[in-house]
Every structure is written in structure tokens, then in C-alpha cells.
Amino acid sequence: MDYHKLVKDCLKGNNWAQKQLYDHFADSMLGVCYRYTKSVTDAEDVLQEGFVKVFMNLHQFRFEGELGGWIRRIMVNAALNYLKKNRTYQSELLFTDTTLHPVADDNPELRITGKELADLIRQLPTGYQTIFNLHAVEGFTHVEIGKMLGINEGTSRSQYARARALLITWVEKLYDDNKLKLYAGK
């Protein structure tokens, strides 16, 4: 797909080009939005808000990077704004500067599907889930996350460590439960 021409056609107000751009990126961007919300309905709301921002700001895209990466950044920001504005998430999006508990560096050698891991991440409290996604999935540094969320870098590190520790615990429990099922089935 020729993104350069597609963007130019979108900027000219060509509805077909706008639909092509939306159709090409909507599914993958819905996945990005869903990582930050707790329901598909909320993710769809974020997706729509995100695409409104994409089309309003398309004139700012300079073809210096990938169009998909540029759109992804807008979707992540739209998701963060949605979490901050939505009452359902506000109470869960509190970040505290409490003492960091030690986290084991053990990497459980378990087999877990991507869907199982994604489901576990979705069960994290919203603040943990947000920071985990921003750091582990999107690749933002804790300094960048702090600026995005209005928290200090240490809080981001602490929340990430706690999210990681919870996930390790849950993955180990999932492994133990599956091991028991296998043993009982023999």
C-alpha cells in the first residue's frame, strides 16, 4: 500500500482514502486500545476517538517514520486520556509512591500462550496494566511514562515491578493448576 499517496488523498478530503486508511489500521489499533481498557466496548470508544485525532492531525505526519507507528502513538495517548476521563477507571488509576517490595528475577520456564498472557495482563489493576503495557509492550522508558501520566519515574518503576510480580505469581499458579490437571488425568 502506498501510504504517501493515501495520506495525501486523505488530506484532500477523499472519503474513499479515509476509509482505506481506517480499514487498514482499525483491527490492529483496536488491539492496542483493548490492552488499556477492560472491555471491547471501551476499546472501540478509544479507537473512534483515536481515529478522529488521526484525521484531525494527519497534516502533521511527516513520513519520517512508519504511518502505523504514528497512528499507534495517537491510539496509546487516546487510551490514556480515556482512562483519565472515564469514572470507571479513575479510581483504579491511582499511582502511589510506596516502598518497592523485592521482586524475584526468576523467569518461570513455562509454556503460556499469548492469549493467556494477554488475559492475565487484563486482570491487573488498571494502573499496573497501563504502566506494564507502556513499558513492556510499547517500549516507553519510565521517565517517558512518568511524563505521560504525571507521576515520577520511581512510581512508574514501582508499579511496573508490582505488575510483573503479580503476573509471575499468576503464571506460576496457572502452571501449577495445569500440572495438577495433567497429573490427575493420568
Residues 19, 85, single domain; the answer is yes
Whether residue 143 sits in one domain with residue 74: no
Q: Name the residue with higher pLDDT: 111 or 151.
A: 151
Residue with cell 490437571: 181
Look up the CATH number of the domain holding residue 16. 1.10.1740.10
Q: Are residues 11 and 79 in the same domain?
A: yes
Using the predicted structure, report yes or no on whether residue 170 has a pLDDT greater than 80.
yes
Q: Evaluate whether residue 101 is within a structural domain.
A: no
Q: What is the pLDDT of residues 98-137, one digit of tens each?
A: 433 333 444 444 567 778 888 889 899 989 999 999 999 9
Reported pTM: 0.73
Residue 94 in domain: no
DSSP letter assigned to residue 97: -
**Rounded to whole angstroms, what are the CA distances from 51 to 7, 45, 46, 55, 157?**
13, 10, 9, 6, 31
Task: State the total domains in the chain.
Answer: 2
Q: Which domain holds residue 137?
A: 114-185
Q: Based on the fold, state whether residues 81 and 14 are members of the same structural domain.
A: yes
**Average pLDDT, rounded, for the chain:** 85
Q: Which of 72, 89, 106 is the last residue of a domain?
A: 89
